[in-house]
Amino acid sequence: MQRCDSDALVLFGATGDLCYRKIYPALYHLVRRRLLNIPIIGVARAGWTREQLAKRVQDSMAQFVSNPDGETVERFVSLLDYVDGDYRERSTFDQLRKVLGNAERPLHYLAIPPSVFSVVIEHLGGTMPRGARVVIEKPFGRDLASARELNRILLKRFPESNIFRIDHYLGKEAVQGLLYFRFANSFLEPVFNRNYVASIQITMAEKMGMNGRGKFYEEAGAIRDVLQNHILQILAFLTLEPPVSSGGEALRDEKVKVLKSIRPVKPENVVRGQFRGYRREDGGYPGGHGARGPAGGRGKYWPPVRRIDQAYGDRNLVCACPPPAAFE
Ligand SMILES: NC(=O)c1ccc[n+]([C@@H]2O[C@H](COP(=O)([O-])OP(=O)(O)OC[C@H]3O[C@@H](n4cnc5c(N)ncnc54)[C@H](OP(=O)(O)O)[C@@H]3O)[C@@H](O)[C@H]2O)c1
């Protein structure tokens, strides 16, 4: 297959948390391995300059990369540019197009709140070259209807092959290692099945607390944040049949088979809780520090799935439980 690498990387949400904690450090490692040498354009509405973006990237390196190498940071910073403007304004995209110059296959990474996905996609569709690509982070929609609507808007503007719906969690080494652990170990593979495994428990334990993300959790909730993406992906990795090839589509097909064979979760099999101290969290929580949230607030609830019977048979339960001590 012919490679058509992207010739520019556009980061929407360049001032945000995802870029700061995850994307800039990941880009640093690509630059260090000389795999990334294209213009990187941050877009946000903070009124920043290119120098302020460079400073943000340098701070991110200092905080999230162990022993960053000065020469690599310098090369990374030399690739940066910045466009300031609101995503709802067409002028922001006209300005971006100017900065992109002759780029034919710019990759647009949407590290932005889901509420502005569609407006950004529509503007990109109206201003970008035909080879433009788009990356969307989870959560993909708020529910089935909004996920379908988002898909519709994307497909109206971009061909399927230029759309990347990603879940960064799948890039974690421990998650990637699950398939090797299961299928590349000849002593393990024959016994990792319903005849020898009584149950699987998936615990997603985070060291991090709210970190000022109260507003996000009030709007999305922890279930949408991690359950139907990270945890179901891990569940699929743990239970799928060996894919027919190592290609992405073969893996996707096997995941779909597992997910289709899960029985619908009944309310009596669901236990929900909230992080201890959630309502006293500072930073972003409506009402501020010390305020009590609404009784029905979604909060940092942890996975509701206490028990998923699935095609492995009734004896084999797959559980997604929080550490009990985290509840109140
Ligand atoms: N943070 C994570 O670890 C993480 C993990 C997985 C997925 N995600 C997903 O990634 C996305 C971004 O998350 P985040 O935590 O980085 O959010 P965030 O910290 O709130 O950052 C959002 C960014 O979007 C910008 N923005 C929002 N509305 C805008 C508008 N109308 N015009 C111009 N800029 C606008 C913000 O600029 P201002 O600062 O100027 O408002 C900011 O740069 C979300 O969809 C989230 O669900 C995040």
How far does residue 110's CA lie from ligand 1's centre (Å)?
8
Give the Cα separation of 231 and 235 in Å (integer). 6
User: Annotated catalytic, 168?
Assistant: no
pTM for this predicted structure: 0.81
Looking up tokens 């699987």 gives 200
For the Cβ of 166 lying below 6 angstroms from any atom of ligand 1, the answer is no
Please report the pLDDT score of residue 277 as a whole number.
Answer: 74
What is the signed CA dihedral for 251, 254, 255, 256, rounded to 10 degrees? 120
266: DSSP letter = P
The tokens for 184 are: 């590349």
Per-residue pLDDT in tens (0 to 9) along the chain, 328 residues = 667 899 999 999 999 999 999 999 999 999 999 999 999 999 999 999 999 999 999 999 999 999 999 999 999 999 999 999 999 999 999 999 999 999 999 999 999 988 899 999 999 999 999 999 999 988 888 889 999 999 999 999 999 999 999 988 888 899 989 999 999 999 999 999 889 998 888 888 777 777 777 777 777 778 888 888 899 999 999 999 999 998 889 999 999 999 999 888 888 888 877 777 777 776 555 544 433 333 334 445 444 333 333 333 333 334 444 444 444 4
206: Cβ below 6 Å to ligand 1? Answer: no
Both structure tokens of 199: 């149950």
C-alpha pair distances (Å), 325 with each of 272, 276, 322:
13, 9, 8
Ligand 1 atom 45: residue of nearest CA = 113
Token pair for 282: 């500072």
CA angle 305, 307, 201 (to 5 degrees): 90
Q: Which entry of 29, 123, 168, 230 is annotated as an active-site residue?
A: 230
What's the CA gap between 117 and 110, in Å, rounded?
7
- Residue 64, classed as helix, strand or coil, is helix
User: Domains of the chain (ranges plus CATH)?
Assistant: 8-166 (3.40.50.720), 172-326 (3.30.360.10)
